[in-house]
């Protein structure tokens, strides 16, 4: 009897601990031109825990900003998004991604030209791939512009965080960031493409 009670108590404690344990976070990686802007866009999304600017999709280990911006490493600027799936789904992040980029051009975004500024969805598992492909296919049918969507969906490779001064740049240097974003024509082009949905943290 005592043994049975002990086992029941142990199971109850284990169940309580499991209930109190935080749910695992998930990761998504998106490339949308200048990572300062992409980071700022995703930081507005409820359920996003953190964003990190960095480099992905290249062939040189531990690349520097100087190397990547020169276009010699094969990397693109990207942002790694850590999110709480209980608060925001991957599908919603895809919706936010689309209306914050120009998916109609290859190897450039707005005023930034080169493969290091290409757009891309870098998937971490089969579920993300299926969701990304479904999202892209649906968007092709209802997009408010004529041009084709050329943003690729690729397997996530090693992501290298960018130098510290790039992290949260829009917060650390709001005036310079604001000037760059306006001068680059990002918001004007997004408005042209997406209308009222442009730049939305809700994706709709």
Q: What is the domain range of residue 118?
A: 24-197
Axis-axis angle for helices 35-43, 90-98 (nearest 10): 130
Judged against a pLDDT cut of 60, whether residue 3 lies above it is answered with no
Note the pLDDT of residue 2: 47
Judged against a pLDDT cut of 80, whether residue 111 lies above it is answered with yes
CA dihedral (106, 109, 111, 112) positive or negative? negative
Report the 10 Å Cβ neighbour count for 192: 13
Q: Which of 34, 37, 111, 184 is an active site residue?
A: 34
Any domain includes 170: yes
Assess contact for 54 and 159: CB atoms under 8 A: yes
Note the pLDDT of residue 200: 79
Cα radius of gyration rounded to whole Å, the chain: 20
Over residues 126-143, mean pLDDT:
97
Domain CATH for 130 = 3.30.1060.10
Any domain includes 157: yes
Any domain includes 121: yes
Note the pLDDT of residue 57: 97
Note the pLDDT of residue 23: 73
Any domain includes 14: no
Assess contact for 45 and 201: CB atoms under 8 A: yes
Query: What is the count of structural domains for the chain?
Result: 1
Output the pTM of the full model: 0.88
Asked if 37 is an active-site residue, the reply is no
Note the pLDDT of residue 19: 47
Note the pLDDT of residue 6: 46
Any domain includes 15: no
Over residues 104-115, mean pLDDT:
97
Judged against a pLDDT cut of 60, whether residue 13 lies above it is answered with no
Any domain includes 5: no
């Amino acid at each position: 009897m005592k043994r049975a009670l002990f086992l029941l108590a142990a199971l109850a404690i284990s169940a309580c601990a499991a209930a109190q344990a935080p749910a695992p976070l998930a990761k998504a990686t998106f490339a949308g031109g200048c990572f300062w802007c992409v980071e700022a866009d995703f930081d507005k999304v409820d359920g996003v825990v953190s964003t990190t600017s960095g480099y992905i999709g290249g062939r040189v280990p531990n690349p520097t900003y100087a190397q990547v911006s020169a276009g010699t490493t094969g990397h693109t600027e990207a942002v790694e998004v850590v999110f709480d799936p209980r608060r925001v789904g991957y599908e919603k992040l895809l919706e936010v991604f689309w209306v914050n980029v120009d998916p109609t051009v290859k190897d450039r975004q707005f005023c930034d030209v080169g493969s290091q500024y290409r757009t891309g969805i870098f998937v971490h598992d089969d579920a993300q791939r299926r969701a990304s492909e479904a999202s892209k296919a649906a968007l092709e049918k209802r997009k408010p512009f004529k041009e084709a969507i050329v943003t690729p969906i690729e397997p996530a490779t090693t992501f290298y965080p960018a130098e510290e001064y790039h992290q949260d740049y829009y917060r650390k240097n709001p005036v310079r960031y604001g000037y760059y974003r306006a001068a680059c024509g990002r918001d004007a082009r997004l408005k042209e493409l997406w209308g009222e949905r442009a730049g939305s943290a809700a994706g709709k």
